[in-house]
Amino acid sequence: MQIIEEPLEQMLKQVEIRTSKVANREEVEKSVREIIANVIQNGDQAVKDYEKKFDRVELDSLAVTQAEIEAAYNDTDQSVIDALELAKKNITSFHKMEVEDSFVDAKQKGVIRGEKIAPLAAVGVYVPGGTAAYPSSILMNVIPAKIAGVKRVVMVTPPQTDGLNKAVLAAAKIAGVDEIYTVGGAQAIASLAYGTETIPRVDKITGPGNAYVATAKKQVFGQVDIDMIAGPSEIGVIASKPAVPSQVAADLLSQAEHDKLARPILVTDDKELAINVNAELDRQVKLLPRQEIAQAAMDNEASLPLSKISMTPLH
């Protein structure tokens, strides 16, 4: 990663300029609009055609069977199961504290007022596939819905040529997912929003995805609710002399390994720290199973607005 020495204001302008070049947004918007319209009109067949085109998988059925889920759970290493169960326990204890109660107030004669808290009937959870598996994403999206009382939680995830990741299916079982469909991309979001012959529509869609997934969520908002429009993974670290270079580098790589479009940024007023962090990045990236992706995220200036270490006064 290159070290840039310049004032903060100038650095922020570079971020803005390079961000605008990350992707052809108009092209993505148009493509997603066409995918949604096709799914609305042609349902399952459109979804299967897109899976063959984009994921190179020919699907006979979109639904994952209970037998497939059980087999994946049984084949998952026990240490992974234990970690998922522990995560479920921690996530559950936190989100239980968020639950709101309905109330009615009739203290004033002739006036009754209150608020009824009711769960949505159905929620769809998008789980990314492709370059990585995210079982934790399943837990963090499904468990709050279950605590809220949602009766039908649907998971969609892109099909893989060698089958779905076992840990992903195990996490779905542990979290309490009711239905799983092997469909990804904008076509998955369209299916959840409008429904197909196989996939009944939902009331809300949550979960991260690529530019096409994020754009699809934006376009179907209003037909269904969504959680947010998530972009590529980003991390900004502000650090000065006391910081430990190895720890700063590890933080930057924690997001860089997610996606070639990820944006790891360090802002510091200490050139020596910047040099040492750079050396740590070069050392640690070679140890990652996803080295190629992390390295691309740090190197790819065309797709990454500012994958640089930037120096600027912090006062």
Whether 218 shows a pLDDT value over 60: the answer reads yes
DSSP, collapsed to helix, strand or coil, labels residue 146 as helix
- The string of pLDDT tens digits covering residues 147-170 is 999 999 999 999 998 899 999 999
Q: In angstroms, rounded to a whole number, what is the distance separating the alpha carbons of residues 33 and 37?
A: 6
Model pLDDT, residue 11: 64
Model pLDDT, residue 63: 98
Whether 302 shows a pLDDT value over 60: the answer reads no
Model pLDDT, residue 133: 78
Q: In angstroms, rounded to a whole number, what is the distance separating the alpha carbons of residues 283 and 306?
A: 21
Q: In angstroms, rounded to a whole number, what is the distance separating the alpha carbons of residues 125 and 204?
A: 9
Whether 303 shows a pLDDT value over 90: the answer reads no
Angle at 99 between CA 93 and CA 103, to 5 degrees: 150
Model pLDDT, residue 65: 97
**H or E element that contains 155:** strand 152-157
| Mean pLDDT, residues 167-174 taken together | 97
> Residue 52 has what DSSP assignment?
I
pTM for the full predicted model: 0.81
Domains 3-22+233-311 and 23-94+118-231 share a fold: yes
Average pLDDT, the chain: 89
Confidence of residue 306 (pLDDT cuts 50, 70, 90): very low
Model pLDDT, residue 298: 84
- The string of pLDDT tens digits covering residues 61-107 is 999 999 999 999 999 999 999 999 999 999 999 999 999 999 999 99
Superfamily of domain 23-94+118-231: Nitrogenase molybdenum iron protein domain (3.40.50.1980)
Q: Is the dihedral of CA 50, 52, 55, 59 positive or negative?
A: positive
Confidence of residue 42 (pLDDT cuts 50, 70, 90): very high
Model pLDDT, residue 7: 66
Model pLDDT, residue 289: 86
CATH of domain 3-22+233-311: 3.40.50.1980
Given a contact cutoff of 8 angstroms between Cβ atoms, the answer to whether 253 and 265 are in contact is no
- Within 8 A by CB and 6+ apart from 117, the residues are 100, 101, 102
Whether 119 shows a pLDDT value over 80: the answer reads yes
Domain edges within the chain: 3-22+233-311, 23-94+118-231
Whole-Å CA distances, 120 to 144, 154, 228: 12, 13, 17
Whether 297 shows a pLDDT value over 50: the answer reads yes
Confidence of residue 304 (pLDDT cuts 50, 70, 90): very low
DSSP, collapsed to helix, strand or coil, labels residue 152 as strand
Confidence of residue 179 (pLDDT cuts 50, 70, 90): very high
Confidence of residue 261 (pLDDT cuts 50, 70, 90): confident
Whether 305 shows a pLDDT value over 50: the answer reads no
Confidence of residue 5 (pLDDT cuts 50, 70, 90): low
